[in-house]
């Protein structure tokens, strides 16, 4: 789905009085991100003049690392480990969008009013349609499915022997009569295990004894009812850019 980070970047540049409007996120340079951060701080970061000029790719990577360090550790306490400085320098819109959102959160905490643009239904519709068309084209290129080989008989004349791993029909009937209506409940404080056979296993003419045995075993499988649960909350208390962005813009997800 199209990201709203570019309109946020344009709003941020307008409020800061920076007369630059990048046509895309990929065209946003590390030096421009540095100017935005220093404008929000109203101070300059202690960078060497040669690095600040971003004359080489290594200088640009150093600038991005400095921005990430200041935002993640010194100001916002955000988890920005997913941002790769090299990919930011290469113009990755995903990485730059995360940085723009972090700068937007910092700006809003300093009283600058920013808002997400209204969604464009036609744009989203064309986006999903293009994905669907691509999927259909991909499926059309796939070879037809392979038909199953039914040349071999499904019955084995040796089925039914008493030493068979599934057991013959007499053994199966004996096992069914011995376990029918049996119920065992074990409670250990954490889980309850119930094993019961309350539905008779029917046999149809021509049915393999192996298939019947498998059917019987499916009906008599134990079921687990756990009374405990695992917490899905991470032990790391550092908030992500998305969490802070949703909170700042009043888009927090309601808890069930």
**Ranges of CATH 1.10.418 domains, the chain:** 5-116
What are phi and psi for residue 20, nearest 5 degrees? -135, 135
Q: Kindly report the CATH class assigned to 5-116.
A: mainly alpha
Let me know: does 107 contact 245? Beta carbons within 8 Å: no
Query: Which residue reads 């600058």 in tokens?
Result: 112
Q: How far is CA 103 from the centre of its chain?
A: 24
> What whole-number distance in Å separates Cα of residue 59 and Cα of residue 127?
37
Per-residue CA distances from 125 to 94, 117, 132 (Å): 21, 17, 11
Tokens of 5: 């980070």
- For residue 149, the model assigns a pLDDT of 67
- For residue 247, the model assigns a pLDDT of 66
Could you give the dihedral angle defined by the CA atoms of residues 188, 189, 191 and 197, in that order, rounded to the nearest 10 degrees?
Answer: 50
- For residue 4, the model assigns a pLDDT of 73
Let me know: does 53 contact 59? Beta carbons within 8 Å: yes
Distance in Å from the first CA to the final CA of the chain: 25
Q: Which residue, among 242, 226, 135, 230, has the nearest Cα to 189 in the 3D structure?
A: 226
Encode the chain (256 residues) as per-residue pLDDT tens digits.
345 789 999 999 999 999 999 999 999 999 999 999 999 989 899 999 999 999 999 999 999 999 999 988 878 887 888 899 999 999 999 999 999 999 999 999 889 988 876 655 554 454 444 444 444 555 566 777 776 666 665 555 454 444 444 444 555 555 555 555 444 444 444 444 444 444 444 445 555 545 555 554 555 444 444 443 333 333 455 566 666 666 665 544 444 4
What are phi and psi for residue 193, nearest 5 degrees? -110, 125
- For residue 16, the model assigns a pLDDT of 94
Radius of gyration (C-alpha) of the chain in whole angstroms: 32
pTM above 0.85, yes or no: no
Q: What angle do CA 234, 83, 17 make, to 5 degrees?
A: 115
């Amino acid at each position: 789905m199209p990201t709203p980070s570019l309109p946020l970047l344009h709003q941020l540049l307008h409020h800061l009085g920076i007369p630059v409007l990048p046509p895309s996120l990929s065209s946003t340079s590390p030096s421009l991100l540095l100017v935005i951060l220093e404008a929000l701080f109203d101070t300059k970061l202690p960078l060497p003049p040669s690095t600040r000029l971003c004359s080489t790719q290594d200088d640009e990577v150093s600038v991005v690392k400095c921005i990430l360090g200041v935002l993640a550790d010194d100001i916002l306490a955000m988890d920005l480990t997913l941002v790769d400085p090299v990919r930011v320098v290469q113009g990755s819109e995903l990485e730059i969008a995360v940085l723009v959102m972090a700068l937007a959160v910092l700006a809003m905490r300093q009283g600058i009013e920013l808002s997400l643009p209204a969604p464009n239904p036609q744009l989203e519709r064309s986006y999903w349609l293009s994905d669907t068309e691509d999927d259909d084209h991909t499926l059309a290129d796939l070879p037809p499915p392979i038909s199953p080989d039914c040349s071999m008989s499904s019955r084995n004349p040796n089925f039914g022997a008493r030493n068979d791993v599934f057991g013959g029909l007499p053994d199966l009937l004996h096992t069914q009569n011995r376990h029918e209506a049996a119920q065992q409940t074990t409670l250990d404080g954490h889980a309850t295990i119930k094993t019961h056979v309350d539905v008779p296993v029917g046999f149809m003419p021509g049915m393999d004894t192996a298939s019947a045995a498998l059917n019987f075993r499916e009906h008599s499988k134990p079921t687990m009812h756990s009374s405990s649960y695992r917490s899905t909350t991470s032990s790391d208390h550092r908030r992500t850019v998305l969490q802070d962005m949703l909170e700042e813009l009043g888009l927090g997800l309601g808890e069930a």
